Structure 1
Amino acid sequence: MLNEKSEMFKCSSGTRNSFLRTKPVGRRKLTLEFGKSHPFTLGAELELQILNRETYELSSSSPLILENVGGSELIKAEIYQSMIEIITGVCQNAHQIKEDLGVAFSELLTASKNLNLCFAGAGTHPSAIYQDSLIFPCDRYQKVLKNHQWIAKRLLIFGLHVHVGMRNGDHAVQTTNALLHYLPLFLALSASSPFYKGEDTNLASSRITFFEALPTGGHPYTFYNWSEFNEIYSTLLKSGSIFSPKDLWWDIRPSPMLGTIEIRICDAPGTLSECGAIAALVHLLCLKIDQEISNGENPKPPPDWLLRENKWRVARNGVRAELIVNESGSIKSLTTVLNETIESLEIHIQNNKYESQMSLLKKIALHGSGADRQRKLFRKTEQFKMVSESLVQELESDRTNWSLQREKKTKPNLKKRGKECA
């Protein structure tokens, strides 16, 4: 099954370009053809922190891990050697997303068994500084650093990327424009980067702010069909602003070589179950949007000011944010927007058996995302090491620490109760 699916997600360091379908113009490929994929198939990439199992500090050990995995299609390098990416194949649904990530994570644990390493899912390491991490030796990463300098050096950050297969380029653009309205939900539910370089940023997601500094970062430019996207892409390419579609560091972007759209706004969640639940929400929304397009609707993106404001509100307050829901400035709590969105997806939830995934998302909105869990633990312990250790436990057990804390709190103290009875 995995061998059949692995073609979709080769590696983050550039070999996916072999699947890029383009019309060559001289040495530059200026016109992108949208690749073929089965509509609404899914894929995911999860960037994880590599930690020393004793200190819980980042460890620049990805070359050792990659040497041990021996060319696995499921584990790839990232820009820093203290990062590692696990990858799914082409999945039919979000259930398979979680299953594939679990297989990849198990392979990662096996490859690092004798290296005294462990792994964590979060948008940032709470205390690490990028100066202590080594760049992975790769031409693409060196070019990124040369072009973006200090801005690129700060990319010691970790995210979840979800791919969805599209019918064609125009379908990808229409779906992207519709999904822009829902990006705040994805960011809030995954927000897990409250700390940076040993400081509380007072944000739920500090990671997402780093992309805003990149000239082709943040939310995408406005375009309404594949031809308009190609015009923007070719202009950026000819001007030397970018060198490939991968240089479009947008929150959501077409991925023409794969025939997908790629939702990139999410912080790395703490558990694989959270990854699967977010992928399920992405899947459901794409199915709903496609139904609306089939009924003759032409999705319009939100106004730029509204998109930016809601993104900021979520980056700042996470699941506690209040979102602007129309151009008149009306607001609703993010929890209300999430519940209304899930209610509108009911038929697709039943068809795909996503009830448990939607229940988990509601729990995150109620109890808090990874950012809330980390901050709560740090306020209790005042130790970043304890925060990182908890993140490792979450990923390895696939259980959020608020669920573990709740179980611990309700467990009866038999010794004390015995004394009371005596």
Structure 2
Amino acid sequence: MKLPPFSSSRPLTLGVELELQLVNTYDYDLVDSTTDLLRLLKKKGKDWDVKPEITQGMVEMATGICVSHADVFEQLDEIRQGIVECADRLDIGVCGGGTHAFQHWSERRIYDTPRFDQLSSLYGYLAKQFTIFGQHVHVGCDNADEALTLLHLLSGFIPHFIALSASSPFVQGNDTGFHSARLNSVFSFPLSGRAPLIETWDSFGEYFDSMMATGIVKSMKDFYWDIRPKPEYGTIEVRVMDTPLTIEKAARIAAFIQSLTRYLTLERPYSPRETDYLVYTFNRFQACRFGYEGVYVNPRNHEHRSLSEEILDTLNKIEPHAIALKADEACAALRREVLTASGDAGWLRQQHAKTQSLAEVVQKQCARWRA
């Protein structure tokens, strides 16, 4: 397969994808109800984008092309309501969160599609361990070269995106000590992590052809990078976020990314360089492990400070752009969360401290998703 041409799209438009958990309502473990839920959704006759994920007990919902925070929220909310209504008919629950608190990957079943079967054959048990749940945000780009430049500019803010969305402290019944343990599963895959520093589509095409020649890449889907180009959509796709516990939070994170993109595109505070990636893995780990209290190392001046300070500083810089995009209220809500250290991972731990039951934590996640 040749690298497809990059389709031009309207700059700063958004598309949001959320991977969701389907659970039973007696012990709140994952339940193999994906096929039944999709069947009921189809009967509604709506033009909703809801599809299976790699294992049973997962679905992915996606917006169409959005122009604003309000548009993202409206589309997500409509699909959310439809999914909840169908789930109620099946007597199952739906929730956000980057991991299910106590499911065991060995009990999962691969959803039967040619691609998922191929991934299972290639990756073995890792395919079932990929029963994790993320938010992906697509950002429209006018042309391919601009898209690649934006990809590398946004890569400096990967820790921000991780900390703001972190909602996966529990894995297989254990508190991992991480705010986002979900990304530990992603790191296991080859071709995960950062994209190579290539800033023209012609050069990227040469890189893609070289990877194809090795036999380990067949399409862009084989790259599990934190941010990757999606040439068929004319976007770049930010992929590091956990699925938040609410639609409101998911829309706010999309608004933050849109406002940040406008700042980077119009003000161009700097140009990408390879040395920006010297601290990339360290900053990423700190965000996963400690959330807002992680250490952020500035790759340009080597300053160390807390990730919360770095996020607040970023929110200050992008505020005029958030106002222009009518995303200022969404960004202000994120600011309040950072100032009070009240993220989703902390909320989940608080619920467990109160109930001493991970099943009740998942039950509360389902109630929060509905709200």
Residue correspondence of structure 1 range 201-240 to structure 2 within 5 A: 201-240=176-215
1:369-421 deviations in Å (ceiling 9; x for gaps):
21111112212322101110121121111xxxxxxxxxxxxxxxxxxxxxxxx
Question: Does 2:352 match 1:392?
Answer: no
Query: 1:12-411 to 2 correspondence within 5 Å?
Result: 29-70=1-42, 72-293=47-268, 298-300=271-273, 303-327=276-300, 329-365=302-338, 366-397=340-371
In the alignment, the residues of structure 1 paired with residue 150 and residue 18 of structure 2 have an alpha-carbon distance, to the nearest angstrom, of: 23
Task: Give, as a single letter, the amino acid of the residue that structure 2 aligns with 1:303.
Answer: D
Residue 351 of structure 1: how far off its partner (Å): 1.3
SS state of the match for residue 2, structure 2?
Answer: strand
Deviation at 1:239, TM superposition (A): 1.8
Amino acid corresponding to residue 305 of structure 2 in structure 1? K
1:328 Cα deviation from its structure 2 partner = 5.2
Distance 2:322 2:235 in 1: 22
Report SS of the residue matched to 1:323. Answer: strand
Q: How many Å apart are 1:112 and its aligned residue? A: 2.3
Partners of 1:38 and 1:178 lie apart in 2 by: 19
Instruction: Output the CA distance in 1 between the equivalents of 2:214 and 2:226.
Output: 22
In the TM superposition, residue 259 of structure 1 has moved relative to its aligned partner by 0.4
Select between 331-340 and 58-67 the one with higher mean Cα deviation: 331-340
**What's the secondary structure of 1:167's corresponding residue?**
coil
Report if aligned partners of 1:165, 1:259 keep a CA contact under 8 Å in 2.
yes
Q: Deviations over 1:195-254 (max 9, x none)?
A: 111111111111111111111112222222222222222222222212211111111110
Give how far 1:262 is off.
0.3
CA–CA distance in structure 2, aligned partners of residues 369 and 227 of structure 1: 41
Task: Supply the RMSD in Å over aligned alpha carbons.
Answer: 1.6
Other-structure match for 1:16: none
Alignment partner of 1:51: what SS?
strand
**Per-residue deviation at 1:264?**
0.3
Q: Distance in 2 between matches of 1:228 and 1:111?
A: 47
Distance 1:132 1:237 in 2: 34
Q: Distance in 2 between matches of 1:336 and 1:264?
A: 23
Cα shift at 1:305: 3.0
SS at match of 1:231: helix
Distance between the aligned counterparts of 2:88 and 2:170, measured in 1? 28
Distance, in Å, in 1 between the alignment partners of 2:306 and 2:108 is: 39
Matched residues in 2 for 1:232 and 1:391: separation?
43
Write the deviation string for residues 273-294 of structure 1: whole angstroms up to 9, x where unpaired: 110110011001111111134x
User: Looking at both structures, which has the greater relative contact order when contacts are Cα pairs under 8 Å and sequence separation is at least 6?
Assistant: 2
User: Where in structure 2 are the equivalents of 1:411-422 lying within 5 Å?
Assistant: none
Cα distance change, pair 351–303 in 1 and its aligned pair in 2 (3 A):
closer
Q: Give the number of equivalent residue pairs.
A: 367
Offset at 1:327?
Answer: 4.8
Distance in 2 between residues matched to 1:289 and 1:141, nearest whole Å: 36
CA contact (8 A) 2:55 2:128 kept: no
Give the C-alpha shift of residue 43 in structure 1.
0.5
> Post-superposition shift, 1:137?
0.7
Q: Tell me, yes or no, if the aligned pair for 1:128 and 1:198 is still in contact at 8 Å.
A: yes
| 1:299 Cα offset (Å) | 3.2
Residues in 2 aligned to 1:342 and 1:302: alpha-carbon distance in whole angstroms: 24
Alpha carbons 1:124, 1:196 under 8 Å: kept: yes
Read off the aligned partner of 2:284 and give its amino acid letter.
K
1:361 alignment partner, SS class: helix
TM-score, structure 2 length as denominator? Answer: 0.95
Cα displacement (A) at 1:74: 2.2
How far, CA to CA, are the matches of 2:25 and 2:249 in structure 1? 23
CA shift for structure 1 position 53: 2.1
Distance 1:288-1:327 versus aligned 2 partners, 3 A rule? closer
Which ranges in structure 2 are unaligned for 5 or more consecutive residues?
A: none
- Are the aligned partners of 1:123 and 1:159 in contact in 2 as well (CA < 8 Å)? yes
Name the SS for the 2:236 alignment partner.
strand
Contact 1:284–1:349 at 8 Å: present in 2 too? yes
- Provide the C-alpha distance between the structure 1 equivalents of 2:305 and 2:193, rounded to a whole number of angstroms: 24
